[in-house]
Amino acid sequence: MGPHPAVAAIRLAVRRVLHDVLTEHTTPAHPPAARAASGAAEHAPTGESPQPQQPQQGPQPPLVLVACSGGADSMALASALAFEARKLDVRAGGITVDHGLQPGSDLRAAEVAARLVAMNLDPVEAVSVTVGRDGGPEAAARDARYAALDEAAERLGAAAVLLGHTRDDQAETVLLGLARGSGIRSLSGMAAVSGTADRYRRPFLQLDRQTARKACMVQSLPVWDDPMNADPAYTRSRLRHEGLPALEKSLGKGVVEALARTAQLCRDDADALDAWAADVDPTVRDEAGLLECAKLYALPPAVRRRVLRRAAIAEGAPAGSLFARHVEELDRLITSWRGQGAINLPGRVVARRQGGRLVIRQG
């Protein structure tokens, strides 16, 4: 008799991601050591035998870490990683981040780390972070968490970090983007693969939250429900417990699936427009590399704004702080020029129109 359907679903999702990681890190057919030995034989003086080569160890299997908070989604992910890694040439470890926002959070992080060790994950670390205030409490905690995961992945040499975001999380992200009046890149939600060198992988984006919780229950995995996830002081919490249920009551079941599908469609469109903007960028610049306003004006608005955003980021504007309103102000220098002055952008970047050119420079 096979595993419970929920357990089978989470394992299959993780197995697919691990196969991708292994494919990306396959040892070349002719590794450098083999080529060096071959070269030594070819270039040995006539009549002399090459010195025998010492056996060399092959590269270590890739290390895959799971980011685990102790909640149902990440505990289900950790269990699936532990199970699948034993069958593949993969090392599996875990990281839990202590945000220090609640009393006893350090003890809870240590408890989560102990559960990961009990799953035979290695290495396992509990990392403490200091959460700032920029962007509000949710964004600040997220920034601190990803910074800690990035540092751990770099230090440990991890090929990938698995995150437990589900289809429900994706739906919430799309709705939050709609509420902010964001463009299709924001409505694309979370990518299945993201981060530096495609570090972050989200195997559960096609699975609902209930599947992960059920998988924990049938495997008798203890889970911790973060009280902040139910705190109405936080926007995502209100959306999760009030907004989405109200939508499903009004529109019927299937809202979450429809929103997740919308995210994928938006991502496909955004990727195509980004590629178009990258291709057209050199054609709208003069010999000095400055953007020509007349050529920019002739572009479709969605492409033009992407070119402007790329240019601002290239000059030092932080991508995470460059919002739609900033790009709209840049666009007005092209489409609604009435002699307005310079525009200040995040990162001390200044943009102004001069002689039919758009000049964007660090301030």
Average pLDDT, the chain: 89
pLDDT band at 363 (very low <50, low <70, confident <90, very high): confident
Return the percentage of the chain with pLDDT > 90, whole number: 71
Residue-level pLDDT at 50: 52
pLDDT band at 136 (very low <50, low <70, confident <90, very high): confident
Query: What value does the mean pLDDT take over residues 350-359?
Result: 95
Residue 148 has pLDDT above 70, yes or no: yes
Residue 231 has pLDDT above 60, yes or no: yes
pTM of the prediction?
0.81
Between helix 209-218 and helix 167-179 the angle, nearest 10°, is 150
Residue 138 has pLDDT above 90, yes or no: no
Least confident of 36-40, 135-139, 189-193, 294-298: 36-40
Residue-level pLDDT at 301: 96
Residue 361 has pLDDT above 50, yes or no: yes
pLDDT band at 184 (very low <50, low <70, confident <90, very high): confident
Pick the more confident residue, 186 or 352. 352
Residue-level pLDDT at 52: 56
pLDDT band at 297 (very low <50, low <70, confident <90, very high): very high
Residue 18 has pLDDT above 60, yes or no: yes
Residue 169 has pLDDT above 80, yes or no: yes
- The pLDDT tens digits for 235-294 are 888 999 899 999 999 998 899 999 999 999 999 999 999 999 999 999 999 999 999 999
Residue-level pLDDT at 33: 41
Pick the more confident residue, 186 or 78. 78
pLDDT band at 159 (very low <50, low <70, confident <90, very high): very high
Query: What value does the mean pLDDT take over residues 344-351?
Result: 94
Q: Cα(94)–Cα(68) distance, rounded to whole angstroms?
A: 7
